Amino acid sequence: MGRVLQFSHRDDEGLSALLTGPVLSNISRLGRGGSEQPAVLSGGPAPGRITRRRRFPKVEFYGNEVMACGLAGHRHSWPELATVLCGRVHVGVDRRVYEARPGDWILLRPGVVHGECCLPSGLPYDLFWFVCQHDHLRVHATRYSPSHGYEVLWTAEIPRPGEPIMAELSMLCDQQWKPSTSARQRLLMLVTYILETFKSAQRSSAGKAAAPPTQSRGTQWHPLVAEVRTMIERNLRRPPSLVELANAVGLSPNYLSSLFHQQTGRTLRRFVDEHRIGLSQRLLAGEVIDSAPLPPTAPPTPGNGNSRPAGAGGLPSVKAVAYAMGFSDPYHFSKVFRRVTGMSPSAFRSRKSHAGGNSPSHERSARGVKQA
């Protein structure tokens, strides 16, 4: 079983952490294929999820209607969509009972009887719900365990969200809902809308714009942001594009940009530039780096032939470092270097040459990078 999540009632920061954490991770898996493809449980066939269990504990909170499968349930006139955050849960939908696992989605259409209960092991489970009820959108996180019963961990309502959002939620709850790319995009739009709505409410109540987020040392990055950071840091000489990164983690480019900026306080472009220039500073200071080897000579330019990579003080030339870091030409490299650090690469190299020593670590060489 996954880690039991901790939330609080009506906690805006908890909402943001929940939506950009486990909920977003579940959304990102939709339509990506592979062995970890989640199931959509809605009353139809679901290979690997059907259970033959026929004896269930009486869960009074869930209603007095006894389903054909033997599980207590209820029904209502609005659609609901839920995803399993952690633990496993038996879910009854119409005449079938499923064993839902972390990452799975549960679709409950209007008028369809449904119910839930924990497995015989008695381990708790957490669910996150999207509810389209009349003219408002409700989201809430729930937990059930034999020791504490049913708990609403967090809940919020958005009154009158507008026709486009309600239409997207209705399309997610139609008869053809599948774990597809289109479903992922609709859910991303829905989550983005919820986050933006709560951020707007926070700004209104505070009377000013919220301060940009910070990430302290030792704090866990969202797994998709951590994956993107790793991809960038491993390919600084040929950084992947936003579209390539988005495709790799299963998000839309716009949503990835928003999530990355929310977590790091920097745009993807700024993050890439800072890390490329940080590595360039180490090369200009004379450090030997296996991932960015300096060429014996820089590529020739018209009229002056080959240039040696070393210059005054035995440190590499700006041109050699520019090409070693994958820049198209020294001018572009100098432009990015100045934008990030506030000085030219030549000035930085000259400073290191006069200092008479190399900078042995990335932390020391990155001191010249300006704060965003």
pLDDT tens digits, one per residue of 262-295: 778 888 999 999 999 998 898 888 887 766 566 5
Name beta bridge partners: 90.
99, 117
Identify the CATH assignment for 270-368 out of 3.30.1370, 3.40.50, 1.10.10, 3.10.20.
1.10.10
**pLDDT for 224:** 76
124: how many CB neighbours lie within 10 A of its CB?
17
**pLDDT for 105:** 93
Tokens, residue 336: 């990015």
Higher pLDDT, 73 or 302: 73
- Distance of alpha carbon 41 from alpha carbon 49, whole angstroms: 8
- Of 57-61, 162-166, 265-269, the poorest mean pLDDT is in 57-61
**pLDDT for 315:** 74
pLDDT (mean) for 122-139: 86
Q: Is residue 79 a contact partner of residue 169, using CB atoms and an 8 Å limit?
A: yes
pTM for the model stands at: 0.60
pLDDT (mean) for 323-329: 89
Amino acid at position 47, single letter: P
Confidence of residue 245 (pLDDT cuts 50, 70, 90): confident
- Residue 119: pLDDT above 70? yes
Confidence of residue 167 (pLDDT cuts 50, 70, 90): confident
Tokens, residue 353: 């040459």
Where in the chain are the domains?
A: 12-206, 223-265, 270-368
Higher pLDDT, 370 or 200: 200
pLDDT tens string 226-239: 888 889 988 888 89
Confidence of residue 29 (pLDDT cuts 50, 70, 90): confident
213: how many CB neighbours lie within 10 A of its CB?
11
180: how many CB neighbours lie within 10 A of its CB?
13
As a whole number, the mean pLDDT across the chain is 76
- Of 4-13, 110-119, 281-290, the poorest mean pLDDT is in 4-13
pLDDT (mean) for 181-202: 80
Name beta bridge partners: 310.
316
- Residue 25: pLDDT above 70? yes
Q: Is residue 26 a contact partner of residue 38, using CB atoms and an 8 Å limit?
A: yes
**pLDDT for 71:** 81
Which of 32-36, 189-193, 250-254 shows the highest mean pLDDT?
Answer: 189-193
Residues 6+ apart with CB under 8 A from 36: 29, 103
